[in-house]
Amino acid sequence: MKGKTVEVTGWSATEVLRRVARREMSCAEVMATFLARIDAVNPAVNAIVSLRDAEDLMAEARAADAAEVRGALHGLPLAVKDLVATKGLRTTYGSAVFAEFVPAADDILAARMRAAGAIFIGKTNTPEWGQGSHSFNPVHGVTRNPYDLSRTAGGSSGGAAAALAARMLAVADGSDMMGSLRNPAAFCNVYGFRPTWGLVPGDAVGDTFLATLATEGPMARTIDDLALLLNVQAGENPRVPFGRSARFTPPQPADLRGKRIGWLGDWGGAYAMEPGILAQSEAALQVLEALGAVVEPLAPPFPAAQLWQAWTTLRAMLNAGAKRALYDDPAQRALTKPETLWEIEQGLTLSAQAVYDASVIRSRWYARAARLFDQFDALVLPSAQVWPFPAEWRWPQSINGVAMDSYHRWMEVVIPASLAGLPALALPAGFGAHSLPMGIQLIGRNGADAEVLAMGQAYHHATDWPAQAPKGL
């Protein structure tokens, strides 16, 4: 049974759903197989939290077998990121303040995945409030990297990435403000896709006009599965502004012959990198060149210091606004991680002029990036500046002797795409230092999500790095 379990849980979501549709497997058999894998592997990895009762899940799977097909994810076991509210299923946000919180309603993302037929089995672990790219919190503990259990899986979608790599899920949702769909994908040898901002809408709560830095999106071990889940997640929410509408199907591999790829490297030395990361990224670029793309080194197109100024200002402003209640309540403040309190305190000191200036920088960068795409079909950066680091760290204090002056400075390489709201596909780039995974970001023009996925499909067919499963699990 163990060999069969590993085989089935190693299939893509597309393959699992195809077999269920052909009645080669039942939803109940799929559920039992994934639960067996979770039981065997999750205690060591700690990627899936708030796991529901097995008998209840088996009953839902049998009900799915007896029912009409509900949607594209019919009967598929899915664990939802613990930053997304799920009706009747504990949602903690990684915070001791919400350790026992059970929402009365789904967030829109969960509602769409549930309506598509997914069976929610639990949640995937995340840093407290999603702050930082290392998935640990006081409620559920730390998520470990399936390729090296002594290392981090990244974050904030670390639980999702680790669950995919460990074959506990076939597909997963994630979210990304500062690389949270890209950094853990790189650390765990899977794909993560940050869509064009507005393609996957948020909920009509709090501010919906200024909060345009973060988005939700799909993670998977294949590009087909990214498209499958993105098609469920995407589509306008009429209750929030700036929405987009698009449909996605499994993309055909793009013909990369003659495509121009701009290689941004370490942004002219502005982004400190651990040894080997640039070389690993350039090896991935050689795959694109072998497929016919023309890779051109690109000088820094915008001052990195200005991007960082805009980023930290706008991020702090949004955190201070959204989480002010945590700070104002002494009991809740005492239960809140110092990194979140620091974000709030930074935001509370900002002037209206500082926020305006940051938005002007952001606007100038968006215009500059748009001009770059008159020359290039895609831009590439590494997905991370460090290799997966020890799980007991809070965050890397330095890179190559360069001190990191904040808890998130070591993630600076992801902010160009985030600030401009551009589609960015995290591609696995193989294994380097100590046999640890790394990845690159393939960044496209605004709205070019399908084109980026098609380029990623060509790369996937040439490499299929996620097929190299973790050993020993």
Q: What is the pLDDT of residues 433-442, one digit of tens each?
A: 799 999 999 9
Q: What's the whole-number mean pLDDT along residues 203-228?
A: 98
Neighbour tally for 222: CB within 10 Å: 24
Q: What is the pLDDT of residue 433?
A: 78
- Confidence grade of residue 92 (pLDDT, cut at 50, 70, 90): very high
Q: What is the pLDDT of residue 3?
A: 62
Q: What is the pLDDT of residue 293?
A: 98
Q: Average model confidence (pLDDT) for the chain?
A: 97
**Among this protein's residues, is 156 annotated catalytic?**
yes
Whether residue 57 is predicted with pLDDT greater than 90 in this model: the reply is yes
- Confidence grade of residue 93 (pLDDT, cut at 50, 70, 90): very high
CATH topology of domain 2-467: Amidase signature (AS) enzymes (3.90.1300)
| % of residues, the chain, pLDDT over 90 | 98
Q: What is the pLDDT of residue 79?
A: 99
Indicate which residue of 157, 180, 281, 383 is catalytic. 180
Task: Give start and end residues of each alpha helix (H) in 105-198.
Answer: 108-115, 158-165, 183-188
Indicate which residue of 50, 81, 157, 323 is catalytic. 81
Of 130, 254, 146, 234, which Cα lies nearest the Cα of 190? 146
**Among this protein's residues, is 123 annotated catalytic?**
no
Q: What's the whole-number mean pLDDT along residues 120-135?
A: 98
- Confidence grade of residue 2 (pLDDT, cut at 50, 70, 90): low
Which residue has 């900002």 as its token pair?
Answer: 350
Q: What is the pLDDT of residue 278?
A: 98
- Helices and strands per DSSP (H, E), number in the chain: 16, 17
Indicate which residue of 156, 281, 383, 418 is catalytic. 156
Host H or E run for residue 75 = none
**Among this protein's residues, is 12 annotated catalytic?**
no
- Confidence grade of residue 279 (pLDDT, cut at 50, 70, 90): very high
Q: What is the pLDDT of residues 103-118, one digit of tens each?
A: 999 999 999 999 999 9
Q: What's the whole-number mean pLDDT along residues 332-353?
A: 98
Map out the domains of the chain as residue ranges: 2-467
